[in-house]
A and B are shown apart, each in its own frame.
Chain A
């Protein structure tokens, strides 16, 4: 049975809870909660992506597009029309759901390389739109002045407040996704991954499930995009390029694609690599990512989440 233990989730939640306090005690890592906000935002995307790629076995190299759609809809509607940011978040998610369904329906009929290329092409097209529709998006110069988030007068205007907001969502989404994995739906997804024809013969509406999980992952990415926009108060198209889609891939590959914890682990590591450890070695960033991805693909196919299994294997001999 695919039992994802509840205890580690509780431990992790506790860690999240006390982390900002811990960071305040140690000057060297005082700024870590800020990085954790980004990690949390990216986790929202990678949790969905892990379900899509690791469990359902589909590929997407274009998820930066959904991240961007959420960010830009939030940005445009709040700065140009002064709408309530939470409502805009919902609108962003709804629009993304529609776009994902439209793109996903023909794409998910494709397999393997064709699906990968279709998502790749889609991602780049959206990126080009962000760059070209200057009237709406501000083009390559970006869109400044995006307001922050307020709920019933409570302003999320500090790093710590935003940290708890984002990670609250991450934990909720994580638990939700774990529940899906452990349910009949999760079983159907894993069956699709193993054999689409057998799954179909057993009554699984393969096409519907694939689109469902694709839309779910897209909507989460959109949510993440909205959080991103309201945190930085500024967005520009460069954030939502092909390389970011690949970075997402690296996050779940590093963590371990077939394990939902892999999404959290990999995303955390890559985010810290990006924002902290490689900060002064920016030119090496791309090479490091390429090397990590290659290393993981060839030598560690189950990612870091697979390491305990490998060690257990050594002891068995």
Chain B
């Protein structure tokens, strides 16, 4: 990365989301700089999950644009967005319970392989080679997240903390440039939260940009480079952690406007 060039990996402009008569997001503008960790926080109902779903391609915004590396993506379906280099986890863990830990991560690598139905049926040498590569990649990721010894276990059988790690590992499979984590610490105890935060920092250290939604303020303050605060679908503050911590508007939003 050349010094002095701050590239915005993700740019949202004028994003509005209305469901029927309800305005979930109104006139949202923000950017995510390459290589940073940006957290989105806000009281319940502030629109964080809606925002995440728009970025991830679950549905398009009513108005506005979402640009990834300069190109618009708000109209794209989820799998196309994954192709472009954005990966995500889910608020309530959505692992593939019918597969092993290793297979889950291997599926995460799906975008890096062009598998055709016919080729897989005839087991052409190219597909066998690709399979081998994916397997090795996946094992490496499992080592990175600390689940290498459980690679044969059913994903269902892991405790929640490890399931959340696995979901992050799966999201890493596509070697994304931007990874979106939806409440990575939800439901975790202190030890597990610590492991998760360290993992997120490690992912970021390798160059991946991280966007996360989180309720656990300790985690947010500890690892984020920048924080965006939403309330009632509007941005009410944006800046580094110290600024947000001391912002009266933010404090009022959490204490005064508790939903």
Contact = CB atoms under 8 A, between A and B. Distances in A.
The answer on direct contact between A and B (beta carbons under 8 Å) is: yes
Most buried by A among B77, B94, B174: B94
Most buried by B among A1, A176, A202: A202
A191 interface: yes
B82 A201 contact: yes
Contacts of A202: 79, 82, 87, 107-108, 110-111, 170-171, 173-174
Contacts of A183: 115, 120-121, 123, 127, 131
Most buried by B among A1, A183, A203: A203
Contact of B123 (A1, A179, A205, A216): A179
Contacts of B79: 200-206
Nearest to B135: A1
Contacts of A186: 120
Contacts of A212: 117
A188 interface: yes
Interface string B164-192: 00000011011000000000000000000
Interface string A181-225: 001111110110111011111111110000010001000000000
A1 B88 contact: no
A200 B57 CA distance: 9
Interface residues of B, number: 42
Interface string B19-59: 00000000000000000000000000000000000001110
Nearest to B174: A203
Contacts of B77: 200
Interface in A164-186: 176-177, 179-180, 183-186
Nearest to A206: B79
Contacts of B202: none
Given A198-B90, A204-B79, A1 B100 contact: yes
B96 A188 contact: no
B117 A185 contact: yes
16 contacts: A179-B121, A183-B115, A183-B120, A184-B106, A184-B115, A184-B130, A187-B107, A190-B99, A194-B99, A197-B78, A200-B77, A201-B79, A201-B88, A201-B90, A202-B170, A204-B110
Listed from nearest, the 5 A-B pairs whose CB atoms lie closest are A183-B120, A203-B82, A203-B111, A194-B96, A200-B78
Interface of B: 56-58, 77-79, 82-83, 87-88, 90, 94-100, 102-103, 106-108, 110-111, 113, 115-117, 120-123, 127, 130-131, 134, 152, 170-171, 173-174
